[in-house]
Amino acid sequence: MAVAVSGGSAIRKMFEQGIELKKKYGENNVFDFSLGNPDLAPPAAVKAALLKIANDADKPFAVGYMPNAGYPATREALAALVSKEQQVQTPAANIIATVGAAGGLNVLFHAILSAGDEVVVPSPYFVEYGFYVGNHGGVLKPVPTNRRDFSLDLEAIDGAIGPKTRAVLVNTPNNPTGQIYPAEDLAALGRTLERRSAEFGRTIYLVSDEPYRQLNYTGEPIPPIFPAYAHSVVVGSFSKTLSLAGERIGYLAANPAIDGVETLMGGLILSNRTLGFVNAPAIGQKILQSAAEEGIDVEVYRRRRDALAAAFTNAGLEFFLPKGAFYFFVPSPVADETKFVEALLDERILAVGGSGFGLPGFLRFAFCVEDRVIAGATEGIARAVAAVRRTEAKA
């Protein structure tokens, strides 16, 4: 087999341990924060769209072949959404409907990477990126963030860029940290990329992976990437914002300011066609024609975030309060994160070690879980923290 099956298995391992624990102790006695699987029902607009699709399903070509980049009406709906979010008028010609953000990133890397090209990513990062880049001959180059709030370390990113760099990949709001990058940092990153592209005589793309864009607790709009840098591409998804993770529907949007953007779009559409996807799912695309700008009730996730923050404070942990997405990335109270993972497991609480995201010494807790899971885990978290601190003090 050509792929390494062991990579990125930390979340999977926790998932399997969770199944075992639930069998043994019962579903309600296990507190599983390991998976980012959105548990809220899709908004009413999704059901309404599906009913309409069902009503039309007896017509010819109801779910027939379509242009590889997607239904024109879907691309128009996405162009309207992207134009608002990115604050740059973006035509439908610059949009492709993709098989989730995962499919979008693969299409993009297939189109822009040559063998040995590097993609710089601030760490911690969504571990699947290593596969998405490696699938197309590229090399992922993580750059430690070195900041308590996980904001962009612009000097470190600058230092990591070299003659082989083809792209810098950011993810905002971020999995696993919950950070949202401010406009000043994106603008500064854009200036760095302009300078470095000129120095090396090759375009370095700025790729923004934004599947959590609507999960924003700041009350302010999420700063857009397009005004920050001409050679930028956004990858989006409806897995989280419409709770449609299994349908695999997302998009790629290319900044109209990219030099030769038509050629890039041609390459992206060819990649989408030839990688095996051919086009994004028809039903998902049709849902977006009326529901692209809808979303789940973010207040539910905010309430859970605040409840889990209170549980960590109660346990004596210091942490960064996520501004977006649905994860906490909490410093382990002892240097060896695996000891904290084990102590939590003794309390039937599941969270994933930071090593699974390229930054040991932390744990990721996903708060797309029912309120009762957070309430049920609160005392257990405090006991686990006290237990590892006691053991360390004795050693």
Ligand X SMILES: Cc1ncc(COP(=O)(O)O)c(C=O)c1O
Got the DSSP string for 159-198? HH--TTEEEEEEESS-TTT-----HHHHHHHHHHHHHHHH
Q: Which is nearer to ligand X, 90 or 98 (CB)?
A: 98
Least Å distance between CB 172 and ligand X? 9
Label residue 62 exposed, middle or buried (CB < 10 Å: 0-12, 13-18, 19+).
middle
Least Å distance between CB 145 and ligand X? 15
The closest of 104, 99, 108 to 166, measured between CA atoms, is 108
Q: Which is nearer to ligand X, 281 or 380 (CB)?
A: 281
Q: Which is nearer to ligand X, 106 or 289 (CB)?
A: 106
Rounded CA separation 233/223 (Å): 14
Distances (CA, A) of 117 to 134, 161, 179, 224: 10, 11, 27, 26
Least Å distance between CB 260 and ligand X? 27
Rg over alpha carbons for the chain, rounded to the nearest Å, is 21
Contacts of 390 (CB under 8 A, 6+ apart): none
Q: Which is nearer to ligand X, 126 or 367 (CB)?
A: 126
Least Å distance between CB 312 and ligand X? 21
Label residue 56 exposed, middle or buried (CB < 10 Å: 0-12, 13-18, 19+).
exposed
Q: Residues of 339-352 as b/e, b for ≥16 C-beta within 10 angstroms? A: bbbebbbebbbbbb
Name the closest residue to ligand X (Cβ).
100
Q: Which is nearer to ligand X, 101 or 252 (CB)?
A: 101
Least Å distance between CB 313 and ligand X? 26
Least Å distance between CB 192 and ligand X? 22
Rounded CA separation 124/244 (Å): 25
Q: Which is nearer to ligand X, 9 or 386 (CB)?
A: 9
Least Å distance between CB 36 and ligand X? 5
Q: Which is nearer to ligand X, 62 or 245 (CB)?
A: 245
Least Å distance between CB 173 and ligand X? 9
Rounded CA separation 111/121 (Å): 18
Rounded CA separation 245/296 (Å): 13
Least Å distance between CB 321 and ligand X? 19
Binding site residues, ligand X, CB under 6 A:
36, 100-102, 126, 171, 175, 209, 211, 237, 239, 245, 250
Half-sphere exposure of 63 (CA within 13 A, CB side): 13
Q: Which is nearer to ligand X, 171 or 255 (CB)?
A: 171
Rounded CA separation 243/40 (Å): 6
| DSSP state at residue 65 | -
Q: Which is nearer to ligand X, 101 or 258 (CB)?
A: 101
Rounded CA separation 322/309 (Å): 9
